[in-house]
């Protein structure tokens, strides 16, 4: 099921908070988000605070940059021999009793998971956070077949109760204030009306989830890292919900994108140090649980999913985006993401990396996303695996332009710009005309609906002379270089 369809089905349209209908592009969705100025400001500040925590945590590691280089090298090497490492992982995992399944796409992934559950009569599943299952639209798929799916990560459970998708890959409910959560819990869990104390609400969620853990017949997790040379995999959570969900029920299903593989167990020392610091600014994730084979008397299934990843691997320009370890740091630092919110991307993975991935998966629907960036390069600076995100966004822009997926207005504007920038006399004439209009035209004309740039900004006062005029005048006046 396409992501856009899934979001609309879940009652949370891709255009933003509570919106419905087809995705009209990032600018329209972002306009809805920033219409609530206080919330947009608060969202910006909340994520900037996380970014600062990340800076502090990374600065306390003397060899941080070396770690990033190592991670980049390990991922680069792994991607160059991905098939070999996946087969090695499969063999070692199977040797320890796990059953490994392969899925070409989201539909196959969902069918495999459903078959495992249906064959064992499972009707109650608890799930820890997995962006892959979000990507595949697993929850509605299973629910439509009579299986109750309970997300057990607190943020995920909050958005699930609200019938919304996560708005951030690490902080799924970052767009909500505690008062919003208080209202949701009052409606869905019967907490006191108006209660918004975080401790009280967390206790309520704990009691609610405990009953689900105890009643579950199977547990599902994502995979942060799968280790080829041992057949083990690691799941990182801060709440211990993956451990509860896999310790109580006898069946554990772990779903992983095929890029989650690392060659050796010792590589984990690099990635685990980078992941927690980049994601939340913690020195280490509270629970980094290593799974190797099923627990005694239990079953362990690992579903390895492609769903467009091989396609990305084939692209010389974009394959490095497969190195992503889903830390969310590029989102927390991105000025566009912080001020436009996760729902403005209408894709499971938002922000800079999401824009690269979504535009490849469905260029028609997501042609606006690679342009939702100032190309400031802050995402490159924080990415723990050194993905050149701004280069990748540019590569996606080039693809979209070459395939004619830009609006006519933009294409015409670019053609016009090429004419003016290619002819000096025309360029100077345009400058003079613009300065004249800025000084003389009625403000209503300049700030009309046609001028998207001026909607959110003040137009600068027109300078009396151009930079060229100033340069010439000062040179002629014997002032040397201005």
The two tokens of residue 95 are: 């040797």
Q: How far is CA 18 from CA 8, 15, 40, 93, 472, in A?
A: 10, 8, 16, 42, 56
* Residue 324 contacts ligand SF4 per CB under 6 A: yes
Look at residues 302, 351, 335 and name the one whose alpha carbon lies nearest to residue 170. 351
Nearer to ligand SF4, 59 or 179 (CB): 59
Identity of the residue, 204 or 279, whose beta carbon is nearer to ligand SF4 in the bound complex: 279
d(CA 452, CA 447): 8
Stretch binding ligand SF4 (CB under 6 A), from 75-83, 256-264, 381-389, 429-437: 381-389
> Is residue 329 at the binding interface for ligand SF4, with CB under 6 A as the rule?
yes
> Could you tell me which residues are beta bridge partners of residue 288?
236
Q: Where in 405-424 is the site for ligand SF4 (CB under 6 A)?
A: none
Q: Which stretch binds ligand SF4 (CB under 6 A): 4-12, 225-233, 326-334, 435-443?
A: 326-334
Is residue 330 involved in binding ligand SF4 (CB under 6 A)? yes
With binding defined as CB under 6 A, does residue 270 bind ligand SF4? no
By CB under 6 A, name the one of 237, 268, 384, 392 that touches ligand SF4: 384
Question: How many binding residues for ligand SF4 (CB under 6 A)?
Answer: 15
Q: Taking contact as CB under 6 A, which single stretch among the options 85-93, 109-117, 385-393, 436-444 is the one that binds ligand SF4?
A: 385-393
Measured from the CB atom, is 76 or 298 closer to ligand SF4? Answer: 76
d(CA 191, CA 156) in angstroms, rounded, equals 18
Closest to 348 in 3D by CA, of 138, 71, 180, 185 = 138
Residue 203: partners with Cβ closer than 8 Å, 6 or more residues away:
none
Binder of ligand SF4 out of 387, 393, 395, 400 (CB under 6 A): 387
| Whole-number Å distance between alpha carbons of 424 and 170 | 50
Q: Cβ 127 to ligand SF4, closest distance in Å?
A: 21
Q: Does 327 participate in binding ligand SF4 (rule CB under 6 A)? A: yes
How does strand 233-237 pair with strand 287-291?
A: antiparallel
Q: Which is nearer to ligand SF4, 32 or 273 (CB)?
A: 273
Using DSSP, state whether 155 is helix, strand or coil: helix
The arrangement of strands across the sheet holding 261-262 comes to: 261-262, 225-227, 233-237, 287-291
Minimum Å gap between C-beta 326 and ligand SF4 is 5
Among 328, 341, 342, 350, binds ligand SF4 (CB under 6 A): 328
Chain residues that interact with ligand SF4, rule: CB under 6 A: 278, 324-330, 353, 382-385, 387, 389
């Amino acid at each position: 099921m396409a992501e856009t369809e899934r979001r609309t089905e879940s009652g949370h349209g891709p255009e933003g908070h509570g919106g419905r209908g087809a995705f009209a592009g990032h600018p329209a969705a972002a306009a809805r988000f920033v219409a609530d100025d206080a919330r947009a400001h608060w969202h910006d500040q909340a994520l900037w605070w996380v970014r600062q925590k990340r800076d502090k945590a990374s600065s306390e590691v003397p060899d941080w940059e070396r770690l990033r280089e190592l991670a980049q090298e390990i991922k680069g090497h792994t991607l160059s021999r991905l098939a070999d490492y996946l087969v090695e992982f499969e063999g070692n995992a199977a040797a320890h009793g796990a059953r490994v399944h392969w899925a070409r796409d989201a539909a196959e992934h969902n069918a495999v998971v459903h078959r495992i559950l249906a064959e064992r009569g499972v009707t109650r599943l608890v799930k820890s956070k997995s962006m892959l299952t979000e990507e595949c639209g697993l929850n509605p798929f299973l629910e439509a077949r009579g299986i109750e799916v309970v997300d057990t990560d607190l943020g995920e459970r909050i958005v699930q109760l609200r019938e919304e998708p996560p708005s951030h890959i690490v902080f799924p409910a970052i767009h909500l204030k505690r008062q919003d959560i208080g209202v949701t819990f009052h409606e869905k869990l019967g907490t006191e009306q108006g209660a918004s104390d975080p401790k009280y609400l967390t206790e309520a969620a704990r009691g609610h989830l405990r009953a689900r853990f105890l009643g579950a017949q199977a547990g599902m997790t994502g995979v942060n890292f799968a280790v080829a040379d041992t057949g083990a995999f690691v799941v990182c959570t801060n709440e211990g919900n993956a451990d509860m969900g896999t310790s109580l029920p006898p069946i554990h299903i772990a779903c992983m994108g095929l890029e989650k593989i690392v060659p050796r167990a010792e590589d984990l020392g690099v990635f685990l140090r980078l992941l927690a610091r980049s994601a939340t600014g913690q020195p280490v994730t509270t629970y980094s649980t290593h799974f190797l084979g099923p627990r005694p008397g239990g079953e362990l299934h690992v579903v390895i999913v492609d769903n467009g990843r091989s396609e990305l691997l084939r692209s010389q320009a974009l394959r490095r985006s497969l190195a992503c370890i889903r830390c969310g740091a590029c989102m927390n630092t991105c000025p566009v993401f912080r001020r436009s919110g996760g729902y403005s991307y209408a894709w499971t993975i938002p922000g800079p990396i999401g824009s690269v991935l979504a535009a490849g998966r469905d260029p028609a629907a997501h042609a606006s996303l690679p342009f939702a960036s100032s190309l400031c390069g802050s995402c490159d600076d924080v990415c723990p695996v050194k993905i050149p995100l701004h280069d990748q966004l540019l590569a996606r822009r080039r693809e979209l332009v070459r395939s004619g997926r830009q609006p006519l207005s933009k294409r015409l504007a670019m053609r016009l710009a090429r004419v003016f920038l290619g002819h000096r006399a025309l360029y100077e004439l345009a400058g003079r005309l613009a300065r004249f209009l800025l000084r003389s035209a009625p403000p209503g004309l300049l700030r009309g609906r046609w001028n998207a740039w001026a909607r959110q900004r003040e137009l600068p006062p027109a300078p009396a002379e151009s930079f060229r005029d100033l340069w010439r005048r000062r040179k002629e006046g014997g002032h040397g270089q201005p």
